[in-house]
Structure 1
Amino acid sequence: MSSLSLRRASSVLGASVLVASATAPAQAAGMDPAWSFANVSVNYLDWSEGTEERTEDFAAKGDFPYLELEGGAGFAWGEVYGFFDLENPGNDQFDEDSGGKDNFRTAGKITSHIYLGDSPFTVYAHIYDFRDYGYNAREQDQILGVGYIHTFDNGLWFKPFLGAARVQSNSYTGMNGYMAGWVLGYAFEALDQDFSVTNWHEQTFERDDDYLTQNYFGRVEKAESVGTNGAVSLWWHPISSLTAGVQYRYADNKLGTPEDYQNAVIYTLKYNFL
């Protein structure tokens, strides 16, 4: 990995941290969190054979390892969450052997819910930033809207949101429709072991025609205005410091590929240091 790549990756992470800090009320800066977590993980994403076949001539997908730093915290005023990924961390910016499929890439996301008074409704914001250094490609999605946080009596937690979307990319910058989605999770015991299931889901709609045409690499057909993105995960917690998981990753009319469903399995091992 070049020093330029490291500087760019650091700048993306630094910008995300600044955004997260700006969303928190100044008077809450010294408050202790009601809950918090942080981990570092090694991951391997394995695209299905069908996905690789459907995308081989356009936005080709290849399996890849990645390292992730992840964390979050909840306060009386709301909560924040974020992650930062290094994809193909040992590769050059442009990977010759794979024809660019295994380029070094970065992805980062920061989200925040700020409570509206004493209600479970929130002001919701998130930024997602993706960069492929071999192709000098970037896209940053910015969402601002409303959210909701609720934990049911059985322990299931559910955090839906709806917001206006703005995008910044190589070929299009401007408003880009709307995004609705959620994150949810549920912890349970089985065979005297601790497990949990989680799901994150994003549904974009009414995306701008110029974005759909220009951000799919000039292909004749553009993506549809509705796009789907998410993952369903099963986690095993053998001890407090370790978590192992299997995730089913899915997307449609997203990830640079129009009119094709994409799916993968992600294998994850986390070290929980907070």
Structure 2
Amino acid sequence: MKNVKTLALAVAAAATMTATTAQAEQYYGFANVSVNYLDWSDGTEQRSRDEGGFGTIGAKSDFFYLEVEAGAGYDWGDVYGFIDFENPTKGNMDGYDDGSKAFRIAAKGSVAVNIGDTNWNYYGHLYSISDSSDFYEQNIVLGVSYDYNTDFGLWVKPFIGAHYLNGQKKAGFNGGMAGWVLGYNFKLGGQDMMITNWNEIEFARHDAHRGFCNSDTCTGPGDEGWIKTNGEDHGLNGAVALWWNATKDFTLGVQYRYANNKLGTPAYQNAAIFSAKYNF
């Protein structure tokens, strides 16, 4: 099962980060575990069924997931990572034909290394997902990022880089990716609140990532038998969230999840995510 490979990658990345940062001066750090429920909109479920793509084997469906997340900043740069266990009760040795309801493991690790005394960084991230229906995909982005911090609670980290994809029956450079992560800390009614947003824009995708041929006469997009999965040569993926730090140990949040020409559906998709975190 490819889930084992994903988990091994996450563990290896965590071990590498730990070894690298052991002797560095730490500026900040956080870690948490959370329980989350993702609720796709009715329109998204319908579009994922009707617009082709992977909906031909099952429309998107709502799911629970467990997440472990951590990050830290050091004198040389910063690191971040998470691992998600989606549909955790669906794991079984027989697999699951419907990928939307399969047990999945998703993991991401990122690192930004300072370029001299500037706010620029060498940037890289690895995202990997696999499931019990034997689907897997890994995405590597290598490029640069920039740190922008304010004294009123806002921070922004934009990035841009080359995108390499390794997945079922395909591997190679897949255009580029640009995006950002940002956060804003503020008080509301005396309570500690935070807004966060992560956003990824893929561009100049290879045709093979836009879909696949399902007939012997099909050679590419536009041919009879071409099944669109991600649709266009560009795509959007992200989420914006509102967090309430109820105590130093406990955080509640609601997220608006969005994607377009991504996640196996050549159309716009949106969902609400409800989260409860325990902070270490």
Deviations 1:85-115 (A, max 9, x none): 000111134447xx44211001000011100
Given the alignment of the two structures, is residue 64 of structure 1 paired with residue 71 of structure 2, yes or no? no
1:180 maps to 178
Given the alignment of the two structures, is residue 265 of structure 1 paired with residue 262 of structure 2, yes or no? no
Q: Which AA in structure 1 matches 2:265?
A: T
2:25 touches 2:75 (CA, 8 Å); kept in 1?
no
1:150 maps to 148
Aligned length: 262
Q: Which AA in structure 1 matches 2:270?
A: N
> In 1, distance between residues paired with 2:228 and 2:88?
33
Q: Which runs of 5+ in 2 are unaligned?
A: 215-224
User: What SS does the corresponding residue of 1:17 show, helix, strand or coil?
Assistant: helix
2:198 touches 2:239 (CA, 8 Å); kept in 1?
yes
2:12 maps to 15
> In 1, distance between residues paired with 2:212 and 2:153?
44
> In 1, distance between residues paired with 2:213 and 2:169?
6
Q: C-alpha displacement at 1:15, in angstroms?
A: 3.5
The percentage of aligned residue pairs carrying the same residue is 47
> In 2, distance between residues paired with 1:43 and 1:186?
22
> In 2, distance between residues paired with 1:230 and 1:255?
11
1:82 touches 1:108 (CA, 8 Å); kept in 2?
yes
Higher mean C-alpha deviation, range 218-227 or range 176-185 = 218-227
Q: 1:229 aligns with which of 226, 237, 249?
A: 237
Q: Which AA in structure 2 matches 1:272?
A: N
Q: 1:215 to 1:268 in 2, by over 3 A?
A: farther
Q: C-alpha displacement at 1:18, in angstroms?
A: 5.0
1:95 touches 1:101 (CA, 8 Å); kept in 2?
no
1:172 touches 1:214 (CA, 8 Å); kept in 2?
no
Deviations 1:5-33 (A, max 9, x none): 774453132233256468x5xxx531241
User: What SS does the corresponding residue of 2:8 show, helix, strand or coil?
Assistant: helix
2:81 maps to 82
Normalising by structure 2, report the TM-score. Answer: 0.87
Normalising by structure 1, report the TM-score. Answer: 0.89
Q: Which AA in structure 1 matches 2:239?
A: A
Q: Which runs of 5+ in 1 are unaligned?
A: none
Q: 1:52 to 1:72 in 2, by over 3 A?
A: same
2:220 maps to none
Q: 1:219 to 1:63 in 2, by over 3 A?
A: farther
> In 2, distance between residues paired with 1:141 and 1:9?
12
Q: Which AA in structure 1 matches 2:69?
A: E
Q: C-alpha displacement at 1:80, in angstroms?
A: 0.1
RMSD over equivalenced CA pairs, Å: 2.2
1:42 maps to 35
1:171 touches 1:214 (CA, 8 Å); kept in 2?
no
